[in-house]
Amino acid sequence: MRSDVKPDRRSRDNARVTITDLSQALSLTKGTVSRALNGYPDISETTRIRVIRAAQAMGYRPMSQAQAIKTGRSCSLGLVIELSEHDAHAPFLAEFLAGLTQAASAEGWTLTIATSESEGDTLRIMRDLILHRKADGFILPRVLWDDPRIAFLDRENAPYICYGRSKNHADTSYFDALSEKSMAEAVTWLAQLGHERIAYIGSASHYAYSHLRRDGYRAGLIQEGLDFDPALMIEEVLDPEEAAKATRQLLAMEQPPTAILCATDTLARGVYDVAHALDLKIGSDLSIIGYDGSPEAQAMWPRLATFAVDNRKAGAALGAMLMARVRDLNAPLQQDLIAAEFRPGGSTGRPDKTSEELAHHVIRLSADTIRND
């Protein structure tokens, strides 16, 4: 949809364009223009988009302080990033922010980003942003299973949208990828290649996604008629070093897995390190699948098979959902789910070794290492 208003001399000369200028250019009342710019639900979507595009074309910029006084809104989305997270929200953050910023800018909104050092610090910053009207609502990335941010914002009656599903997600608005479905599909992929002993390395259980991906792994085993062996599932793993330790534990079993499914690409890196150290050929001696579609997955050799989520698209969707929620606090909950895209790689294939043969290989290599030492 193109704007029916062309930039005039005021926008080129950087003189301030007013609502009066917009109303005259669009042949609408000032009240209609103002309500359209502020997202009031009594204004049609067609009119709202027409006004916003005209405002962009003419270079209109609201006086945020005056607007906040009139509407009680700052037209700003809040995002607090907790730096104490083990990976500081990598690898998705850059693309996520690009999509979120783009969505906000298209509506004439801004994005207020703050960083915190702890859970308590996060809640304090949110409280300050609400108190000083610097954010109308919040995007909650990396949702926790029991998320204190949700409880806090509910008490404050502040709008928010979750990027993920918490334990009580039925009562929240959220956008999320069906990572549990991806994990089940990964098991099916490996089973169809001939793998019967499939292990799972999961992340910390305080993350909501950890529960979903673990459940997906177990559902996939049931679907493929494979027995669940608790020894093949190791959770609470946060980084490649811990994943490497978990991999050595799995491969030291009398019947080790011929394939390992990882909750994240980052954990898969630790599996790669051990496979290389044990002279195992990835994709034949040992198959590996990750989740995230991260740049590091593309850099691994052989390339890691993984599930990718379009985080730019997710950021844009979350921004649009939050702006809609701020405009109409009484609207029904919005809960959107998308599927992750499977990206095959050289890290999977038909097993060249049985579980028993793999065990003998690991024992033999370990004995050789001891003799050489």
Instruction: Report the alpha-carbon distance of residue 37 to residue 312 in Å, rounded.
Output: 25
Question: Cis omega before residue 230 (within 30°)?
Answer: no
Kindly tell me if the per-residue pLDDT of 9 is higher than 70.
Answer: no
Q: Which of 28-32, 119-123, 290-294, 358-362 has the lowest mean pLDDT?
A: 28-32
Instruction: Flag whether pLDDT at 38 surpasses 70.
Output: no
Phi/psi of residue 161, each to 5°?
-130, 130
Contact between residue 262 and residue 271 where contact means Cβ atoms under 8 Å apart: yes
Q: How many helices (H) and strands (E) does the chain have?
A: 15, 12
Lowest mean pLDDT among 67-76, 124-133, 221-230, 265-274: 67-76
- What pLDDT score does 173 carry? 97
The CATH code of the domain at 179-305+344-372 is 3.40.50.2300
Token pair of 345 as six digits:
């790689």
pTM across the whole model: 0.81
CATH number at 19-62: 1.10.260.40
pLDDT above 70 covers a percentage of the chain that reads 88
Q: Over 90: is that where the pLDDT of 85 sits?
A: no
Residue 287: its pLDDT value, please?
Answer: 98
Residue 16 pLDDT: 72
Task: Report the pLDDT value the prediction gives residue 18, as an integer from 0 to 100.
Answer: 83
Q: What is the dotted CATH code of the domain comprising 76-172+311-338?
A: 3.40.50.2300
Give the Cβ contact number of residue 21 at 10 Å.
Answer: 21
How far is the C-alpha of 93 from the C-alpha of 81, rounded, in Å?
10
SS3 at position 163: strand
Contacts of 113 (CB under 8 A, 6+ apart): 79, 80, 81, 97
Domain residues of the chain, as ranges? Answer: 19-62, 76-172+311-338, 179-305+344-372
Instruction: Report d(CA 252, CA 245) in Å as an integer.
Output: 11
**pLDDT, tens digit (0-9, with 9 covering 90-100), for 138-158:** 999 999 999 999 999 999 999
pLDDT of residue 88: 46
The pLDDT tens digits for 247-296 are: 999 999 999 999 999 999 999 999 999 999 999 999 999 999 999 998 88
Between 8 and 62, the more confident residue is 62
**Contacts for 325 with CB less than 8 Å, ≥ 6 apart:** 137, 159, 160, 161, 173, 331, 334
CB-CB contact of 250 with 261 (8 Å): no
Which tokens hold the place of 227? Answer: 């027995």
Burial of 297 from C-beta contacts in 10 A (0-12 / 13-18 / 19+): buried
Which of helix, strand or coil describes residue 198?
Answer: strand
Domains 19-62 and 179-305+344-372 share a fold: no
Q: Tell whether the model's pLDDT for residue 221 goes beyond 90.
A: yes
State yes or no: pLDDT of 28 exceeds 60: yes
What is the per-residue pLDDT for 370? 45
> What distance in Å separates the CA atoms of residue 240 and residue 279, rounded to the nearest whole number?
18
pLDDT band per the 50, 70, 90 thresholds, residue 373:
very low
Report yes or no: 2 and 26 within 8 Å, Cβ to Cβ. Answer: no
- The larger pLDDT score, comparing residue 366 to residue 232, is at 232
Q: Per-residue pLDDT averaged across 313-328, rounded?
A: 94
Across the chain, what does the average pLDDT equal?
88
